[in-house]
Amino acid sequence: MADPDDHSRGVALARAARRGDTLAMSDLLDHLTPYVGRICGRICGPAAAAGRQDAVQETLTAVFRGLRSLRDPEALYGWVRVLAVREAVRTARRDGRDTPAELAALPSPGDAQLAADIRDVLGRLSPEHRAVLLLRDVEGLDERAAAGLLGIPEGTVKSRLHRARTVFRRMWTA
Amino acid sequence: MTTDDPTAPLDPVRRLHVMAAGIHGAHVTEGVVDAPFDRVWAVMADLEGEFGRFQPDMHSLRVTRRDGERVAALARSRYGMRARFDGVLRPGWCWLQSRFLIVGMAAVADGAGATRVALTGGVRVPGRAALVPLGTRREPRLALARLRQRVGASR
């Protein structure tokens, strides 16, 4: 989530970019890249630097192509997030990283720091499971918002989240 | 962001493609220069020297202000016109904009001892993120050919 100052700056840059100010576009690109990079990085997984760059580039290309058609620049971040999640899931599927790893291949808990372990386990989930887990349990979105972002029914979010939590728990305790 | 960091969210050449996607009529000319990044970027970022030697339309450029990555410059074209540019200059990335012109340059290390370079630019359409469709392919292509010569001469 962007903090209020970041949000205001992003919206102001988007307005200037829509008026044809290409220097504002360059600044907007600087401004949005880390935000999009974080979303795509979480979904594409930790070992997928090239796939992540593809997803970030595709997302920002869609953002810049569509900037003039964005009705309300205040909605910038929500719109960018929708595009980033979709592109990241699409890229991860394309690159064949959507097959969960064998449980035996997982590191034992306690071998590394906790945060690294969590990232590692997340990286072994399928992109769909990772996306729904991040949106609901990390980003704190409700089922309806997550369903809207992922372009799937709310019921599917619910069942996918249940499955994702179960798989995460199993991997974590293996 | 470093220019050859594979974990960076977006390298400068990819950034230039994103910028061009948002500017109607913009075209990106991309190629590999057979020299290390530092040497290639030293030529590209030399706004008051080499820049005017490889950019086809530029005769000279004088930097009037630098503030971190921000630059302001006065340019004179080969046809005698003057323009005040505002822009951003940092390793691997340069974006300059005047009332009538745009110049975009990007570079990233490409394997051992080579550099991937991308160029875009042209004449602006007032009030829109768009370029007049004149020379948007030819001039960056010419600039890339001249850049290779200038980097070769800098050995």
Mark out chain A residues that contact chain B at CB-CB < 8 A: 17-23, 25-27, 29, 33-34, 36-37, 40-41, 49-50, 52-53, 56-57, 60-61, 64-65, 67-68
Average pLDDT over chain B, rounded to an integer? 90
What is the structure's pLDDT at A56? Answer: 94
Strand order, beta sheet including B115-123: B29-33, B115-123, B101-109, B93-97, B82-90, B70-77, B58-67
Q: Name which of A57, A65, A67, A69 to mutate to probe chain B: the one with the most chain B Cβ atoms within 10 A of its Cβ.
A: A57
The tens digit of pLDDT for each residue in A27-40 reads: 999 999 999 998 88
pLDDT digits (tens, 9 = 90+) for A83-120: 998 898 888 877 765 544 443 334 444 444 556 667 77
- Predicted confidence band of residue A134 (pLDDT cuts 50, 70, 90): confident
> Torsions phi, psi of A50, nearest 5?
-70, -45
Rounded to two decimals, the pTM is 0.77
- Residues from chain B that touch A56, judged by Cβ atoms under 8 A, are 9-10, 14
Can you tell me the distance from the alpha carbon of B133 to that of B25, in angstroms, rounded to the nearest whole number? 6
CB-CB neighbors (< 8 A) of A14 in chain B: none
Confirm if A44 and A97 have CB atoms less than 8 A apart.
yes
Kindly list the distances between the CA atom of residue A54 and the CA atoms of A31, A37, B85, B125, in Å, as whole numbers in the listed order.
18, 10, 31, 30
Chain B: give the shortest CA distance to residue A154, in Å: 31
DSSP H or E segment with residue A73: none
Q: Quick one: pLDDT at residue B2?
A: 40
Structural contact between residues A10 and A28, judged by C-beta atoms closer than 8 angstroms? yes
